[in-house]
Amino acid sequence: MKRQLENSHLIVFLVLCLLALTGLSLSGTARSGGDANQFHGELQRADLAAGPADGAELHPGRSYVFIVKFKADEGLAEILALYRPQRERAVQAFGVWARDKSAFRGLALDRVAYSGEALLIYDPRMDDRIPRPTLDEISQQLNASPFVRYADLDSIVQARSKAC
């Protein structure tokens, strides 16, 4: 009986120690300006904030993200598969691939999701078309491409960027 009492005291002591350590780590995060949103990863990048509603004028200093699912194409599949092991090479290879395809003007590969969707950044400063296309027109051009299964403006990025 005495042994059980000692074990229960030890368990209570360990639980209290864990609670104290948890409290200390949380207070340290709060003091250092830590934010729960810091764990949202790459979607928090300010330069990837999605833009205004369709048809609105594009801000020249802001980039816009489109989620694109490509149709099966051997060359493009190799480029997207290259993203995880060699990101820089994949970004460069995508630029070369997209260079002569008008639907991809002003767009660059930012990353590839685990679902296989590509996140493409549209930067109005990289598009020499006058007048500049609206976000809706860019989405329509992408969806009309024979290489694209579907494309849409990444509105999740816009919602998260406003919350910060």
Q: Identify the burial level of 133 via C-beta atoms within 10 angstroms of its C-beta, where 0-12 means exposed, 13-18 middle and 19 or more buried.
A: middle
What predicted TM-score, i.e. pTM, was given to this entire model?
0.58
pLDDT, tens digit, 9 for 90 and up, residues 25-74: 555 544 444 444 433 333 333 333 334 434 444 555 577 899 999 998 88
Q: What is the DSSP string of 95-154?
A: HHHHTT-GGGTTEEEEEE-TTS-EEEEE-GGG---SSPPPHHHHHHHHHHSTTEEEEEE-
What Cα–Cα distance (Å) separates residue 151 from each residue in 62, 71, 77, 117, 127? 19, 11, 17, 9, 19
pLDDT score for 10: 63
Structural domain boundaries in the chain: 2-34, 43-163
pLDDT, tens digit, 9 for 90 and up, residues 107-142: 999 999 999 999 999 987 777 777 888 889 999 999
pLDDT score for 20: 62
Q: Which CATH class is domain 43-163?
A: alpha beta
Please identify which residue in the block is written with the tokens 């980039």: 63
